[in-house]
Amino acid sequence: MNASLNRLVGTRIERSEAAYSSADTMLYALSLGFGDEPLDTRQLRFVYEEGLHALPTLPLVLGWQGIWMPCAARALDYPQMLHAEERLQLHRPLPPAGIVRDEVWLDALVDRGAGRGVFIHTRKELFSENDGLHLATVRSCVLARGDGGHGGGGEPPSPLQPTPARAPDHVATRRTLAQQALLYRLNGDSNPVHGAPATAALAGFDRPLLHGRCTLGLALREALAQLCDYTADDITDVRTRFAAPFFPGETLRVNLWQDGRAIAFSADVVERGLTVLSHGRIDLRA
C-alpha cells in the first residue's frame, strides 16, 4: 500500500454527479430477482413504471461505488480487495429517477500489519442535486488483503452487533442465477473479479464471485417479502458484514429475527454450509 494514502484520511476523495432513470431503478431491482413471480403485484412496484418505487438499497449503486475506483493509481493490490462491511442510513426515500451528487470521504485506515491487509473505511454522502436534500449515507469497509504495514489513522465506526443466539423467526431459501453477477454489474460495479475468471483466479477464487452488495440486496428482498409485505419506504438503516464469498448459482438461505421495528438477519450458502452475511440489521421507521 502506498503510504501516501494515510495522508488522505479525513479528506474528501471523490465528488461527482450522476443521473439515474426509472429504467436504472427497475434494472437494479431485476438484478436482485424482483419480478420473478409475474402475478405478485407487490413486486411490480419495483420493476414496472406505473407506481414505481426505488428500493432502499439503491443508494449503494448511485454515484461512486467502491474504494478500488479512485485508488487504482495509489498502489493498492487491486485484485486482493474484498468488501468487508456495509452500512446504509436512509435520510428519506429516494425518488425513482433523478440526479444525485455524491461526496466521498476516507474516514479511517485500520492496518493489520505488513502482508496482513488493511481495512479501508469510506463514507459516501448522497444528495439530491435539484434541491440539495440529504438522501443517504453509505459507510463501506473494504479489506485490502495484499496491503498493510504502513500504519492507520482515523476513527472506524463502532462494531456491528451479532444476530440473536436463538433460532430465527423466519427462514427463506432462494437459488440464485448462474449469471447473477453479470446482471448485477450492469448497475455500475464493473470490478472484474465478478465477471472475469482470470481476475477471480488472481484474487484466489476458482470462479467469479457475486458482489457482496448483491448478496445483501437478495437478503433484503427476503426481509421485505417475509416481514414487510414489500413495503420498503419504512426502512431507515441497513447494515451487514460480508463473512465469506458467495458464488452465482448457489442457494442463499436467509435467517430473519424480528424485534419490534428492528430486523436482524444472516445468510448462509446452502451447498457449502457457510455463513456469507453476518451481523445483519434492518431498522424500520418508528
Q: Which of 140, 129, 2, 3 is nearest to 61 (CA)?
A: 140
Pairwise CA distance, residues 93 & 210, whole Å: 26
Our answer to whether residue 189 is catalytic in this structure is yes
> 83, 194, 211, 279: which one is catalytic?
194
Q: Which of 147, 189, 211, 268 is catalytic?
A: 189
Q: Measured between alpha carbons, how far is 24 from 164 in angstroms, rounded to an integer? A: 36
Q: Can you read off the three cell numbers belonging to residue 81?
A: 480487495
Where would I find the H helices in 146-257? 180-184, 197-202, 212-227
Is 243:280 a contact under the CB 8 Å cutoff? Answer: no
Show Cβ contacts of residue 131 under 8 Å, excluding neighbours closer than 6 positions: none
- Please indicate whether residue 211 is annotated as part of the active site: no
* Phi/psi at 116 (5° precision): -110, -5
Residues 6+ apart with CB under 8 A from 167: none
Amino acid at 187: N
Beta bridge partners of 154: 108
Q: Where are the alpha helices (DSSP H) in the chain?
A: 22-31, 41-47, 180-184, 197-202, 212-227
User: For the chain, first and last CA: distance in Å?
Assistant: 44
Query: Could you give the residue numbers annotated as active site?
Result: 189, 194
